[in-house]
Amino acid sequence: MSLNKDLAPLCQAPDAEIRSPKISFPKGAVDCHAHVCGPADFFPYADERIYTPPDATLESYNTLLHLLGVDRAVLVQPSVYSTDNQAMLAALKHQPEKFRGVAVIADNVSDRELEEFHQAGVRGVRCNIVDVADKSAGLPIQYLTTLAKRIAPFGWHLELLMHVNEYPNLATVFENFPVDLVFGHFGYAHAKHGVNDSGFQGLLSLMREQRAWVKMTGPYRICDGGLPYADMRPLNDAVIEANPAQLIWGSDWPHVMVKKEMPHDADLCDLFGAWVRDPSLRKSILVDNPCILYDFPALY
């Protein structure tokens, strides 16, 4: 199998240094955003992908979780697989008590396939709005609503990869939406737009009304500086103030398509600890909230 590296260049691998964070996460902590990629010889990547990740296997990820002191995780379908969810589903079926999944589905997916996904541990569907060709038409709200109605009977949510700053009417567009919404990477609005940006304010409004969840992931993706990513700290503080019960955290491993210095996952854990100092709030974000959103059993 050709990886078409000329058309889809190889991206950075995650930092391989063996190191644990200083912070101790609470029992039952969940990494709510990670990807399993490969082995490429067994799970081939889609020809239409825009990058080629180094293999980031379930074995490697389990080793990382042990080092970080994280007990459970949510595997999100990466774009390199398009709608072929086999790598993610194989991981879910291998450790069903440990993992949940967020799939990317084809328009013609059958109800039977959705049921099979649910039984495997899928609890949401991801839509990539960042790469929509024609953004002048606004959000594809009719398509998203139709999709939401299909997944609503399963209790799933719709995860959106989108730059919220590009949609100043975000809160009104999603009024009375059929399922919960999840926004990755703090809404994926670059820090330069600031917390007063209309789209980001719309996201905060959806959070206050308990219609949207926010993933505290990928701070390095939405700012220009390096650790400790100080220029996006105001966005972090704003989502906590809006509604901490609608927040979840994730490592974003293996940090695909990072073009600046690759962050170490131990440092990202410690950064979360520095930005969320209250132990009860940490437990809510790391344990309680993910149990609600992803249907994890409570650990006693």
Q: Active-site positions?
A: 252
Cβ neighbours around 179 below 10 Å, total: 21
In a 13 Å sphere around the CA of 245, the CA atoms on its Cβ side amount to: 6
Report the distance separating Cα 83 and Cα 190, nearest Å: 28
- Dig out the tokens for 162 from the structure: 């989108």
- Dig out the tokens for 206 from the structure: 């959806």
- Dig out the tokens for 245 from the structure: 């019960």
Cβ neighbours around 110 below 10 Å, total: 9
Q: Is 97 exposed, middle or buried (0-12, 13-18, 19+ CB in 10 A)?
A: exposed
- Dig out the tokens for 189 from the structure: 């609005």
Query: Angle, to 10 degrees, between the axis of helix 233-242 and the axis of helix 198-208?
Result: 30
E strand spans, 129-218:
157-161, 181-183, 212-216
Q: In what order do the strands lie in the sheet with 72-76?
A: 30-34, 72-76, 99-103, 122-128, 157-161, 181-183, 212-216, 247-249
Strand partners, 30: 72
Residue with token string 């879910």: 92
